[in-house]
């Protein structure tokens, strides 16, 4: 049985993805920072699953020692992680377009540094040729967007990191992917006050993630495809046109 570790799996995309892998006969390890939420998630998943190979490890990814201990414990207790889905993230828009250094620091600590701590220990422990790291990024990281300075900075950093590691991990024969979902209905997107085009469910995201990570190797997994292709085109527009279109669409 292959082993997948999913961070931030107590709710949303991570939770649905854990269910999907468990239903497809993987050994699944779920993590998140809040133990009560994590235990509740584990019970909810197990109720409807005949595969009982689900394990939970509380792990706040912004705590480097905790990440190191968790990954080492998983390798010792459960076995070698074949696939790590680094999905945990905090989300907090810049309120009223105000610059808040606290918000920047919190998001950098969890999303950027937290993901780096996971990668640090995974690279050390993962076996050549059998391992795959997938980072859940976001198309918000493709280009700057209003109110998204802090969150977008962390996600664009992670996209860049994934691209860079693609080259560096080739030597170690560890695969790396980035996952770019469009708008998915979760606790995080409840915070959005604007209308979200092409909004999809967590189950939709989980199906795409499972297919993308278990089929032929792809560096980028993105969905829904039509919305993401539109965003990819926006990525190459000249600034003048890009700023005009985003201001018109968001009214910000």
Taking the C-alpha atoms of residue 39 and residue 146, their distance in angstroms, rounded to an integer, is 36
Nearer to ligand NAP, 34 or 247 (CB): 34
Phi then psi dihedrals of residue 236, to 5 deg: -105, 5
The minimum distance between CB 64 and ligand NAP, in angstroms, equals 12
Q: Which of 195, 197, 178 is nearest to 136 (CA)?
A: 178
Q: Does 56 bind ligand NAP (CB under 6 A)?
A: no
- Of the ranges 60-68, 95-103, 213-221, 240-248, which one interacts with ligand NAP (CB under 6 A)? 60-68
Locus of tokens 């190797």:
217
Q: Does 70 bind ligand NAP (CB under 6 A)?
A: no
The minimum distance between CB 133 and ligand NAP, in angstroms, equals 14
Q: Does 187 bind ligand NAP (CB under 6 A)?
A: yes
Burial 37-54 (b: 16+ CB within 10 A, else e): ebeebbeebeeeeebeeb
Q: Which of 3, 5, 11, 19 binds ligand NAP (CB under 6 A)?
A: 11
Q: Does 223 bind ligand NAP (CB under 6 A)?
A: no
Taking the C-alpha atoms of residue 71 and residue 170, their distance in angstroms, rounded to an integer, is 22
The minimum distance between CB 173 and ligand NAP, in angstroms, equals 26
Q: Which of 211, 219, 37 is nearest to 132 (CA)?
A: 219
Please give the residues from 133 up to 172 whose contact with ligand NAP meets the rule CB under 6 A: 136, 138
Give the end-to-end CA distance of the chain in Å, rounded to a whole number.
Answer: 50
Q: How far is CA 87 from CA 110, 128, 251, in A?
A: 11, 22, 30
The minimum distance between CB 158 and ligand NAP, in angstroms, equals 9
The minimum distance between CB 212 and ligand NAP, in angstroms, equals 14
Return the residue nearest ligand NAP (CB atom): 12
Q: Does 8 bind ligand NAP (CB under 6 A)?
A: yes
- Of the ranges 84-92, 142-150, 163-171, 234-242, which one interacts with ligand NAP (CB under 6 A)? 84-92
Q: Does 131 bind ligand NAP (CB under 6 A)?
A: no
Strand 83-86 to strand 54-58: parallel, antiparallel, or no bridges (unpaired)? Answer: unpaired
- Of the ranges 59-67, 77-85, 161-169, 235-243, which one interacts with ligand NAP (CB under 6 A)? 59-67
The minimum distance between CB 166 and ligand NAP, in angstroms, equals 19
> Bridge partners of 131?
174
Could you write out the three-class secondary structure of 184-207? ECCCCHHHCCCCCCCCECHHHHHH
Other C-beta atoms lying within 10 Å of the C-beta of residue 146: 16
By the criterion CB under 6 A, which residues form the site for ligand NAP?
A: 7-14, 32-34, 37-38, 60-62, 87-91, 110, 114, 136, 138, 181, 183-184, 186-189
């Amino acid at each position: 049985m292959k082993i997948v570790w999913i961070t931030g799996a107590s709710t949303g995309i991570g939770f649905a993805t854990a269910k999907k892998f468990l239903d497809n006969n993987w050994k699944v390890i779920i993590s998140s920072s809040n133990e009560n939420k994590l235990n509740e998630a584990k019970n909810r998943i197990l109720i409807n699953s005949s595969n009982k190979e689900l394990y939970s490890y509380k792990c706040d990814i912004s705590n480097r020692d905790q990440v190191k201990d968790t990954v080492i414990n998983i390798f010792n207790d459960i076995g070698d992680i074949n696939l790590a889905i680094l999905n945990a993230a905090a989300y907090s828009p810049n309120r009223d377009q105000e610059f808040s250094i606290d918000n920047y620091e919190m998001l950098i600590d969890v999303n950027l540094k937290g993901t780096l701590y996971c990668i640090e220990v995974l690279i050390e422990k993962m076996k050549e040729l059998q391992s795959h790291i997938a980072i859940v990024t976001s198309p918000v990281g493709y280009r700057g967007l209003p109110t998204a300075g802090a969150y977008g900075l962390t996600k664009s950093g992670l996209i860049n990191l994934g691209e860079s590691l693609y080259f560096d991990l080739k030597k170690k024969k560890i695969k790396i992917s980035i996952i770019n979902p469009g708008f998915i209905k979760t606790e995080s997107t409840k915070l959005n006050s604007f209308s979200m085009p092409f909004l999809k469910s967590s189950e939709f995201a989980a199906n795409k993630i499972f297919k993308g990570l278990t089929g032929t190797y792809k560096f980028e997994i993105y969905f829904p495809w039509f919305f993401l292709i539109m965003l990819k085109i926006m990525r190459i527009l000249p600034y003048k046109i890009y700023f005009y279109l985003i201001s018109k669409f968001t009214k910000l």
